[in-house]
Structure 1
Amino acid sequence: MEIALMDNLWVIIGTFLVFLMLGGFILLEAGSTRMKNAGHIAGKTIFTAGIGSLVFWAIGWGFIYGEGNWFIGLSDFFYGEASFSGEGLAPAVDFMFQMMFALVALTVAFGGFAERAKLSSYVIFAVLFSAVIYPVVAHWIWGGGWLADHGKQDFAGSTVVHLTGAMAALAATLVLKPRMGKYNKDGSSNDLAGHNQVYTALGVLLLWVGWFGFNGASTFAVADGFFGFVILNTQVAAGAGAVAAMFVAWALTGKADVPTTLNGALAGLVAITAPAGFVEPWAAVIIGLIGGVIVVFSMKLFDKAKIDDPIFALSVHGTVGVWGTLANGLFAVPEFSSGIGWGLPGLFYGGGFTQLGVQIIGVVTSGLYAFVVSFIILKVMDKVMGGIRVSEEEEIVGLDLSEHGGYGYPENIPHPNDKKGA
């Protein structure tokens, strides 16, 4: 009974830490974009978290964990379990922890909407993403679906959360098209710099702390102290990602670019999310280092392809999410994988290419599903709604004013209707 109470306490603390990550996303996204959109970014994060919570309560949990088939769960909707036997996790604790992951995935997806999408598009897509995109992928891998049957390893969500959100973000960037002034006729790119690097850095730090719950509480137990090992892997991978990204940027440009360093830390965190409970610390360092290198070149590649990604969600969560998932197929230790009945050891531990093959299949199918369904939904929304992007005039004045009627920094940005000297 005492152990069960400690397990529940740890997981609910982890729930709070993961929810705090939304605050990190607010600061990260607001700081990485322009001042005229800061209030909009903060506000939409809060109300879409509300929408996502209600949809998860109504049908999300049931689609993921309900009794169903290889594709989706079909029971336990409108969750109402109140009893607790005193053993294992209380149902409500497990439910709340899983809800937070759905909200993070939704927040990642909205990185692709930044600075140009109508508020109404956030509302509709929040409902549909939370209902038919995230739950399906989560069921496949975590809810007993077909990828789970094949031993797909994803300890805390490099695929389920980060890749799924990033592929939805990619669909959004393609449908919405680049922000005004981002690309020139000759194909060159303009730097639409974010307005506050301090906010961005603080956002990354909050996300980093929240990741201790994201990965650490995914152990669902405290008795053997394994959660500490998972947090150790998380910390060294994040540090390695930050260092690698900074030195790569320094070598390429001669400057230790701050936003790149910050994205490197996030890349290390995303990369270690899938293998956090399957690998040794030395491997976690390598995984984080490679994630930090990958994110730099991925950011450049997307920009060269004229895919406007203001928050770098596609690189941090998408490209690196793929790497983190595949890393299991290389570095998974026998006692951490096959020993607990979750997949096989990695290539470097005598497991051959079997687990790596499963990881590749999981990445391809999950990524394609999230992208294709998101793209179809957004295209239909764009047609039915007469466009999901704000007008040129509204984009110029900023979404704070055009969508909410006031700026997040009202003292610093004059209202278009203000008279001179007023």
Structure 2
Amino acid sequence: MGVRMLLKGMSFMDITTLSNGLDTIWVVLTAAMILLMEGGFALLEAGFVRQKNAVSIIMKVFVDITFGALIFYFFGFAFMYGKDFSGLIGTSGFMMGGDLTHITLSISHDTYWLFQSAFVIAVISIVSGAVAERVNFRAYILYTIAMTGLIYPIAGHWVWSVGGWLGGLGMIDFAGSAVIHALGGFSALAAAILIGPRIGKFAENGTPNIVPPSNLPLASVGAFILWFGWFGFNSGSTLSATNAGIGHIAVTTMLAASAGGATCILFTMLRYRKADPPMVINGSLAGLVGITAGCAFVSDSAAILIGAVCGIAMVFATEFLESRRIDDPVGAFAVHGVSGSLGTLALGLFAKPELTSSVGQGYSGLLYGGGFQLLGVQALGLVTVSVWGFALTWLTLKAIGRFVPVRVSRDEELVGLDVGIHGVPAYSEEHDFIEIERLTISKHK
């Protein structure tokens, strides 16, 4: 009753100021939650790779955050959200300057940049896991600049920016199943193919050898942090603390993640006769990826179905890559590329018109009387974004390879990137320091 009386006594301007302030707090808070996901990526990947490469994972995550944020500030944001040119690229907003009047939000442009910078950092982190244990650190820095400054921003402009051509056709991607996860997943696939498998991952006849994760408890904690951050990822994309859909978004996010994990537990028990921990971890993440596009626009039951399908598809995708001798140590493509694709298309099936009213008229999925229009646009956008990510990553790494080796040397890979590249082990033991000394001496001979 006191709140009602307070609001009754406030002017329209006062209420608007209060609402804008709440929106700013909400967006900054959820941006911080998304940034915390980098801790999740670090723990997840460090737990999945071998002990001798844990430090290299942490260093790549720091590259993602530091270089990613700076490059996105200097020119990535401008290419993504700047004043549109022919539906293809932004042309203003470099270092947050110039004409940004077309971005009309209840929050400041600085606040909006902060939220979007957390997204771009997540994109490059997807690729990081696919090239773990054998990528050259210098080459990775250069690729991070290309991804955060050009590859992701241009794809994002097509879908999310005012004037983007895919958004103009009616493509919906609420929090990024396509723009972030499919793009990142197919970029990861291109990088994994080009850089080749780890030494010893496959036998001469192509049979995959098991490379045991170094620390599954660590990986599981990383997954839980990612799960937590995903509530900021999805719910924060409302960009408004007063949006009535926040609760529904959080519920669909939770249900899809749970369905992905539960399905993987049951499916791996049937398929392998044991519940497979890495698959279960990735199954929950697959459910989260799958629901990201439609978390605001599908029903609870559809969210459960999407999560379950993504969990099973992730298992088959992981097996398929190994059958093709493609080494993806953390399952980046299976989790992000495959589940992001399925989630993007699922929106074309399950979008409910009463939930999509906030983004325009006529957005109904195939199963709700919308015909094939939305599904067709979603498919076009998915293919476009995925091909863009795969092709540009391939070309970028090829170009980088002309100046800097993309892969570490055989000796560095065998001894581990922690000692071979960074000169320090993750877990200090006497023999590790002996190895460091040996390598240092050999380099100076």
The answer to whether the 8 A contact 1:36-1:413 is kept is: no
Task: Describe the superposition over 1:181-206 as per-residue Cα deviations: whole angstroms up to 9, x where unpaired.
Answer: 00001111011111000010000000
User: Which residue does the alignment assign to 2:21?
Assistant: 5
Q: CA deviation at 1:225?
A: 3.0
User: Which residue does the alignment assign to 2:124?
Assistant: 106
The structure-2 alpha-carbon separation of the partners of 1:101 and 1:339, relative to structure 1 and needing over 3 Å to count, comes to closer
User: Which residue does the alignment assign to 2:14?
Assistant: none
User: Which residue does the alignment assign to 1:39?
Assistant: 55
Q: CA deviation at 1:68?
A: 2.2
Q: CA deviation at 1:224?
A: 4.0
Matched, 1:404 2:407: no
Q: Which amino acid aligns with 2:277?
A: V
The structure-2 alpha-carbon separation of the partners of 1:5 and 1:409, relative to structure 1 and needing over 3 Å to count, comes to same
Output the CA distance in 2 between the equivalents of 1:309 and 1:200. 16
Output the CA distance in 2 between the equivalents of 1:174 and 1:89. 42
Q: CA deviation at 1:339?
A: 4.9
Output the CA distance in 2 between the equivalents of 1:11 and 1:317. 24
The structure-2 alpha-carbon separation of the partners of 1:391 and 1:290, relative to structure 1 and needing over 3 Å to count, comes to same
Determine what percentage of the aligned residue pairs are the same residue.
Answer: 38
Output the CA distance in 1 between the equivalents of 2:346 and 2:430. 46
User: Which residue does the alignment assign to 1:349?
Assistant: 368
Q: 2:161 aligns with which of 123, 133, 143?
A: 143
Matched, 1:217 2:217: no
Q: Which amino acid aligns with 1:78?
A: M
Q: Which amino acid aligns with 1:71?
A: L
Task: Describe the superposition over 1:352-394 as per-residue Cα deviations: whole angstroms up to 9, x where unpaired.
Answer: 0110000100111110011111101111222332x31111111
The answer to whether the 8 A contact 2:419-2:436 is kept is: no
Task: Describe the superposition over 1:261-299 as per-residue Cα deviations: whole angstroms up to 9, x where unpaired.
Answer: 000000000000001011111111111111111111111
User: Which residue does the alignment assign to 1:163?
Assistant: 182
Q: CA deviation at 1:402?
A: 1.1
User: Which residue does the alignment assign to 1:14?
Assistant: 30
Task: Describe the superposition over 1:312-347 as per-residue Cα deviations: whole angstroms up to 9, x where unpaired.
Answer: 000000011100000100000102224531762100
Q: 1:253 aligns with which of 269, 272, 276?
A: 272
Residue aligned with 1:125, SS:
helix
The answer to whether the 8 A contact 1:178-1:307 is kept is: yes
Q: How many residues align?
A: 416
The structure-2 alpha-carbon separation of the partners of 1:408 and 1:358, relative to structure 1 and needing over 3 Å to count, comes to same
Task: Give unpaired runs (5+ residues) of structure 1.
Answer: none
Residues 3-402 of structure 1: matches in 2 within 5 Å?
Answer: 3-69=19-85, 70-80=87-97, 88-144=106-162, 145-341=164-360, 344-385=363-404, 387-402=405-420
User: Which residue does the alignment assign to 2:3?
Assistant: none
Output the CA distance in 2 between the equivalents of 1:184 and 1:359. 40
Output the CA distance in 1 between the equivalents of 2:151 and 2:362. 24
The answer to whether the 8 A contact 2:126-2:332 is kept is: yes
Q: CA deviation at 1:112?
A: 2.0
Q: Which amino acid aligns with 1:39?
A: V
Output the CA distance in 2 between the equivalents of 1:100 and 1:412. 39
The answer to whether the 8 A contact 1:151-1:343 is kept is: no
**TM-score, normalized by length of structure 2?**
0.91
Q: Which amino acid aligns with 1:314?
A: F
Q: Which amino acid aligns with 1:141?
A: V
The answer to whether the 8 A contact 2:283-2:310 is kept is: yes
Runs of 4+ in structure 1 displaced over 6 angstroms? none
Q: CA deviation at 1:414?
A: 2.6
Q: CA deviation at 1:163?
A: 1.1
Q: CA deviation at 1:110?
A: 1.6
User: Which residue does the alignment assign to 2:441?
Assistant: none
Output the CA distance in 2 between the equivalents of 1:412 and 1:259. 31
Output the CA distance in 1 between the equivalents of 2:399 and 2:32. 36
Output the CA distance in 2 between the equivalents of 1:322 and 1:89. 31
Greater displacement, 163-172 / 357-366: 163-172
Output the CA distance in 2 between the equivalents of 1:376 and 1:2. 48
The structure-2 alpha-carbon separation of the partners of 1:40 and 1:404, relative to structure 1 and needing over 3 Å to count, comes to same
**TM-score, normalized by length of structure 1?**
0.95
Larger Rg: 2
The answer to whether the 8 A contact 1:4-1:87 is kept is: no
Output the CA distance in 2 between the equivalents of 1:308 and 1:391. 17
